[in-house]
Amino acid sequence: MKSVFFMALAMCTMLVSQAQNEDKSKRKSPPAVAKATIASGATVTIDYSQPSVKGRVIGESLEPKKGEVWRAGANESTIFEVDKDVTINGKKLPAGKYSFFTLDNGDNWTLIFNKVWKDWGAYKYKESEDALRVTVQPDRKHKPFTETLTYKVEKNGAVSLLWGDLKVGFTVK
């Protein structure tokens, strides 16, 4: 009986070890990082996974979907990190790590910076943990079409989420 227990324990340990050593670059939505030190001296880092459109329709068979909180990437939650206190479109955000979510409201989008940053997707998202919410106007006809989700952080503090023909932008100062 003891040998069965120890064999089961060893197998569980091995599975956990394999999961921790997974090569994330081999995922269908590989990891990516957008990072820049902006004019104010703060470093902005966005750590995310990059899904691809692959002929699907954003908003229908592919996220984001209107009225649903989206992790703004794939796999683990997208992480937005700043090493100094900043403002996002004029609203204060303390230095730290946040999960970054979006909400397509139809006419506008809500950008969500949530205090629970280490999670998988938006499955356990709780509005009560939001550190900041900002409303922005997306460009829904952005050119060129961006096949793979891409974030850009410019030195002037302009941040862009590019996905299909969508561009969602905000400013960090």
Instruction: Please tell me which residue, 27 or 139, carries the higher pLDDT value.
Output: 139
Residue at 119 is within a domain: yes
Q: Check whether 167 has a pLDDT greater than 90.
A: yes
Domain with 51, as residue range(s), is: 25-171
Whether residue 16 is contained in a domain is answered as no
Query: Is residue 74 within 8 Å of 92, Cβ to Cβ?
Result: no
Indicate whether 19 belongs to any domain. no
Residue 58 lies inside a defined structural domain of this protein: yes
Output phi, psi for 10, to 5 deg: -65, -40
Q: What is the mean pLDDT of residues 89-115?
A: 96
Q: What is the pTM of this model?
A: 0.83
Please state, in angstroms and rounded to a whole number, the distance separating the CA atoms of residues 11 and 60. 40
Q: What is the pLDDT of residue 61?
A: 84
Residue 99 lies in a domain: yes
Mean pLDDT of the chain: 87
Give a yes or no: residue 133 inside a domain.
yes
Domain count, the chain: 1
Per-residue pLDDT tens over the stretch 4-31 = 444 444 454 444 444 456 776 676 778 9
pLDDT value at residue 39: 92
Is residue 136 a part of any domain in this protein?
yes
- 92 belongs to a structural domain: yes
Distances 32 to 36, 85, 107, 147, 150 between C-alpha atoms, Å: 14, 24, 29, 15, 8
Q: How many CB atoms lie within 10 A of CB 71?
A: 23
